[in-house]
A and B are shown apart, each in its own frame.
Chain A
Amino acid sequence: MTPRTGGRKLCGADELVFYDITASFEERTIFTDILKKTAERVFIPLTVGGGINTLDDFARVLACGADITEDSADKRSLAGIFLSYQAPVEVPGVPLYSYLRTITQKRPELKMTARKFRARVGEIAEQLDMDSSFITRELNVGFSGGEKKKIEMLQLLLLQPKLAILDETDSGLDVDALSVVSRGIEAYRASCDGALLIITHNTRILERLSVDHTHVMVRGRLVAEGPGSLIDDIDAHGFEQFEVAAQAAGA
């Protein structure tokens, strides 16, 4: 893979990337350390309330939706944190239109007339190359993996969250679907004043993005951190170096 050059801002940071090469690793409290460090440099709405008051809350956020007993998921969402699903859930009986309208209406900052809303959804759909008939279909029901990711990106752009966490959003996507996700991320950066936290196994999705901070994790340990250019290093030399480092640290 060719190392990328240019297009990377090192100041005005608003984006942060994790390499999560141990997705199955259970103890993710390591994230809180990373967040603590990163929060010093990057704007993350850790104090916006709505259930996200402590780093523990955040650790649960990062457990990515698996935490069903969590009482404040809706408040967390309203506070401006968007959690993208790896496998978006099918919701039979609810057309995409009704769903999108309902979730926007919950957010006072997005208050708009139904007519304007429809136009806005149309715009975003066009941006993402979506067929307008999507809107009347049931939410995620019978959609392909790529189409489901498009719907996630559509929501990302519609809701304009302050922090978007994309947990392995790129896993299992083909090239076309991957470019949809990249396009969505780009559009988010262009239009929203928020931060992105991307957790991923491979650098493909990052090719067209400018990354501010990179953290590398191996088996639940933070083994390296650095600026966005760290990704080029990984592209050039692979992960092995980190795994060796992790072993050394663990020994």
Chain B
Amino acid sequence: MKDQTTATPELTLERVNTPPAQTWNYLRANDITLTVPQLSRKGDVYFALPRLFEGIECGVGPQATAWVVSQAADARYVEVRAGERKAEPIVVDVDANDGDVHDVGIMVRAGAEACVVVNVHGTDGEPATSGALVRIIAERGAKIRVLEFVAAGSAQQHVESVGIQAAQDARVSVRQYFLCAGTLVAGIATSLDGDGARIDHACRYLVREREVADINHVVRQRGRNTRADVRETGVLDGHAKKALRATIDLVHGSKGSEGTELESVLMLSDDVTNKTVPTILCDEDDVSGNHGASIGPVGPEQFQYLRDRGLTQQEAEALYVRALFDEALIAAPTPEVRANVLARARMVLGDDVANDLVEGLGLNEEGA
């Protein structure tokens, strides 16, 4: 579907990535509006997910989620049997050049372990809109790892939506590496329904040039003694625009729960716009909710330390960018993902540094 220029019908999605509680509308930080193509890829008979997936709250909100569902030719359902330790990751490969759209539902049965990998790759010059919707039900004691890598082209937009329901003692681990896209809209909502359910979530982003990243993180802590640990670390350069909305919702009944969210944003250019809305909603007393954000240049203490080890300001800044790629490469679970990260590293850091990353991490050229 490469040639979808003027003839493609379009749809405007409003209030995408809206958090549960909003701030002043004039700040224009509450949501994003997105124009997306409306294609009909579905046949007369197509596969839809079991109904119970419909009840899962997804990060980008109902409108954008419905759009992804409508655009995927078929939904894909994966079930991991009780107690199974699935070694191979469940891969969702999104070719942003082709405007791929995926609708995936994963049922991780009691005590099972699984890993899902979303790999979004695209190159400059091909305008397209892609989407990935991953809904996960983690039953009692299940362990699920979610790894997302996004590196789409500067003319492309990508909608990345995740919804997770975690039952008692389920463990959710999320690692996001947003190496970015023309416009990235990424939302993830996790509901820690069962007692003792946990999420450990790290999001790394690099937004440069004229890229836009709009991120919405929601954790609903419903069960007793749940834990949420959410950390976002990002670098903004060029004319980048980034918004992060992060909500910890301590729902009535979540006694003994703790939620923490911390963001640190490095701003490398005066032309960037950073919006951060970190929200704690609390309807319980025996809980603890924490938020922290630091936004600005390399912190004075950090900078002094790095200088004392021989780095100039520019080198210190470059270190933060390189670090992001090092981390993404270390986390990359498949050769395809490594190739995707490396291609972006070559573009951003140049061949010398990229080669150094490959060699230093003991990878073969192009990731194998």
Contact = CB atoms under 8 A, between A and B. Distances in A.
Contact of A95 (B308, B323, B358): B323
Tier of interface size on chain A: 20 to 34
B201 interface: no
A100 to B, nearest CB: 9
24 contacts: A68-B303, A68-B304, A73-B307, A74-B307, A85-B308, A88-B305, A90-B302, A91-B305, A92-B264, A93-B320, A93-B324, A94-B320, A94-B323, A95-B330, A97-B326, A98-B326, A99-B306, A101-B356, A103-B311, A105-B356, A106-B310, A114-B357, A114-B360, A136-B330
Given A77-B310, A101-B360, A102-B319, A93 B266 contact: yes
A88 B304 CA distance: 11
Contact of A68 (B300, B310, B360, B361): B300
Given A102-B311, A106-B315, A89 B326 contact: no
Interface of B: 204, 231, 233-235, 264, 266, 300-312, 315, 318-320, 322-324, 326-327, 330, 355-362
B308 A91 contact: no
A92 B203 CA distance: 12
Interface of A: 65, 68, 73-74, 76-78, 83, 85, 88-95, 97-99, 101-103, 105-107, 113-115, 117-118, 136, 155, 159
B319 A99 contact: yes
Contacts of B359: 113-115
B323 A155 contact: no
Point out which of B301, B308, B315, B361 has the most chain A C-beta atoms below 10 A from its C-beta: B308
Contacts of B308: 65, 73-74, 76-77, 83, 85
Mostly, the A contact residues are helix
Mostly, the B contact residues are helix
Contacts of A113: 359
A89 B302 CA distance: 6
Contacts of A68: 300, 303-304
Nearest to B362: A118
Contact of B264 (A77, A93, A95, A106): A93
